[in-house]
Amino acid sequence: MERKTTKEKTLYLVELAILLALVLLLQTFGSGIKIGPTSFSLVLIPIALGGMLLGPAAGAFLGFAFGVITLIAGINGTDYFTQILFQDHPVLTTLTCLVKGTAAGLGAGLIYKLVARKNRLAAAFAGAAAAPVLNTGIFILFGLLMSDTLSSNFVPNGQTVVYFLIIGCAGINFVVEFLVNLLVSPALNQVIEIIRRGVK
């Protein structure tokens, strides 16, 4: 029994490390893919997967890592949008980066766990959908608190901050992230579950 427990712990750590490496890779190199002023986040795929496969805590950890990378990119100037927000609102920008990523992973894991009691396939889709919804929703909420900086630096004349956040920033980005996550995460989840059963 002890050997099995050790094997499960080792498998958990290996899977977490692989997903963390994917988060680092996708956010570091994928952040250059921009639709509008903000980056398109393929990184939500490993975050949602972590929450669904390894549990809400792992999803939250991976989402937090995503937030830290985004924040560092803002501080060092790699991410211009985040840099401008950080200069005027360092605390709110830090919270935005960390909270939205953490919530995306945590929410994906919790929703998956809840729905999986009735249907595992439906749970995979629900968990995958939760990550971009939470990530984008929290981004918009915090963005409203920094509307002064957005208005003076990014919002075109004739637009409101609300329109800019929902349509300009989140709009196409959200739709693409949502669809990609909805298609890729459940498929990968099923593949990994099959591999796991073979390993065990």
Q: pTM for the complete prediction?
A: 0.86
* Residue at token pair 């065990």: 200
Residues in the chain: 200
Instruction: Parse the chain into domains and list their residue ranges.
Output: 2-199
Token pair listed for 94: 């830090």
What pLDDT is recorded for position 179?
83
Contact 147, 161 (CB under 8 A): yes
What pLDDT is recorded for position 165?
86
Q: How many CB atoms lie within 10 A of CB 152?
A: 10
Distance CA 33, CA 28 (A): 11
Calculate the CA dihedral of residues 29, 35, 37, 38 and round it to 10 degrees: -50
What pLDDT is recorded for position 2?
46
Average pLDDT per run of 10 along the chain, which is 200 residues long?
A: 70 93 85 56 89 95 96 92 95 97 97 92 91 93 94 87 82 78 79 65
Distance CA 75, CA 67 (A): 12
List the Cα angle 89/76/98 in 5-degree steps: 55
- 2-199 CATH: 1.10.1760.20
